[in-house]
Amino acid sequence: MEDCGRGGVLDGRYDLGRVLGRGAFGKVHYARDLRSGRSVAVKVVDKGAIVRSGMMDHVKREISAMRMVRHPNVVELYEVMATRTKIYLAMELVRGGELFARISRAGRLSESASRRYFRQLVSAVDFCHQQGVYHRDLKLENLLLDGNGDLKVADFGLSALVDDARSDGLLHTMCGTPAYVAPEVFGKRGYDGAKADVWSCGVILFVLLSGSLPFRDDNLMVMYKKICRGEFQCPPWISSGARRVITRMLDPNPNTRITLAKLMEAPWSNKTTAQKSVPAEENREEGFMNVNETKEPVRLNAFHLISFSDGFNLSPLFGGGAWEEGMRFTTRESTSCIVSKLEGLAASTSGKYRVTKSSAAGVCLEGDNGRKGKLAIAAEIFALAPSVHVVEVRKDYGDTLEYQRFCADELRPALKDIMWSSSNYHTITA
């Protein structure tokens, strides 16, 4: 078999085309199976690079895990080939891209869309566990969408098999992405791979529904403490049923954390919705929430106020503080006045910022390309009382430093005359 580093025909089986993506150890090509005519993705891995970096076990683990798991919501591995210098993995071609990229672009999902993706995720993870495979790196970046808008779990490079467990039946290798990792994984006593995956699924569900991570801090030790204590707050728009599911999944005690079997029996998970698969290329924003979908602001009740504040202390809603990543303030102005102020702010920047979505429920602004792409800001309006509104401003995506400058130099001066009182809080953004 000859190497096909620059395209061409691989072993008379696959006609390699354009490069779809690149990684530290190789690249992924679009390819056509000459035997069936099927379009596939061929992952080309440089043997020398993975040997030098000590990653050969990871590649072997990924191949072993993917061979064991055949499920509609898991990326399928068709074939593995190798030469003296390369490893070729012929895999299912997933055309819809990362779920993470779509949420970053469009915002949080509706509850019905979140439920649909969540069911598919749980079904796939449960099947993996039945085959003795624990993913250990479940995160939005590893969830892809196919041409029908269905979810596909990918990247089993950090997965573990039942045989990897020690004599105590537990796994002992610390791995994964910090914001998604269960607290017991950070410890040195070992952990149950299935329970750790459940925690990661809980983080994913939170992000689907809120558009932000439950645990986030620039200081990893601070974030680690929040994870170990299970310290997070659900936004007010998340339903009580979804809150219960998330809370059970993000239980820092693995012994009392909900299992996948119980999770699939939960009322929220089983609620029926008339949602069908929509081809990704036909409707790329299907199921995503935006401020245009709601004609009126969400009315806050006592439970929402508590979730907005730190425990039962409501001072963050009415007091002052330092300007950080997010801002929340109260105002006596009408929704039309608030929206007009935000739209006027965009207009005053001479095209630097533009309004992408606008309604009585809030306004979304998008700026020019910055250090980390375009800066997107969402300002949501909530009704606290007939004549009092709460405005919550957050960064949807983009550079945090640029967002902080925007808040200090543009946003606050433009809104100061309508602020009844303001406070700052540290948002958790994806």
Determine the CATH number of domain 8-92: 3.30.200.20
Q: How far apart are the first and last CA of the chain?
A: 44
**Which part of the chain is CATH 1.10.510.10?**
99-270
Q: Select from 332, 329, 410, 323 the least CA-distant residue to 365.
A: 410
Find the angle CA(75)-CA(80)-CA(85) to the nearest 5 degrees: 125
Determine the CATH number of domain 99-270: 1.10.510.10
**Which part of the chain is CATH 3.30.200.20?**
8-92
The answer to whether the annotation marks 295 as part of a ligand binding site is no
As given in the structure block, the two tokens for residue 176 are 């994964």
Is residue 295 within a helix (H) or strand (E), and if so which, with residue range?
A: none
3-state class (DSSP) for residue 358: strand
d(CA 391, CA 232): 20
Is residue 395 within a helix (H) or strand (E), and if so which, with residue range?
A: strand 388-397
Residues annotated catalytic, as ranges: 137
Q: Select from 335, 343, 386 the least CA-distant residue to 363.
A: 343
Q: What pLDDT does residue 231 have?
A: 92
Determine the CATH number of domain 291-425: 3.30.310.80
**Which part of the chain is CATH 3.30.310.80?**
291-425
Q: What pLDDT does residue 166 have?
A: 45
Q: What pLDDT does residue 62 have?
A: 73
Q: What pLDDT does residue 283 have?
A: 40
- pLDDT, block means (10 residues), the chain with 430 residues: 61 88 79 92 86 78 78 90 88 86 77 93 91 85 89 71 45 64 82 90 94 86 91 90 96 94 90 54 43 54 47 39 58 88 89 85 83 79 80 78 84 86 40
Beta bridge partners of 376: 366, 397
Burial class (CB in 10 A: 0-12, 13-18, 19+), 134: buried
Say how many residues make up the chain. Answer: 430
Q: What pLDDT does residue 6 have?
A: 52
The set of residues, in sequence order, having a beta carbon less than 8 Å from that of 279 and lying 6+ positions away, is 147, 148, 149
Find the angle CA(354)-CA(356)-CA(358) to the nearest 5 degrees: 110
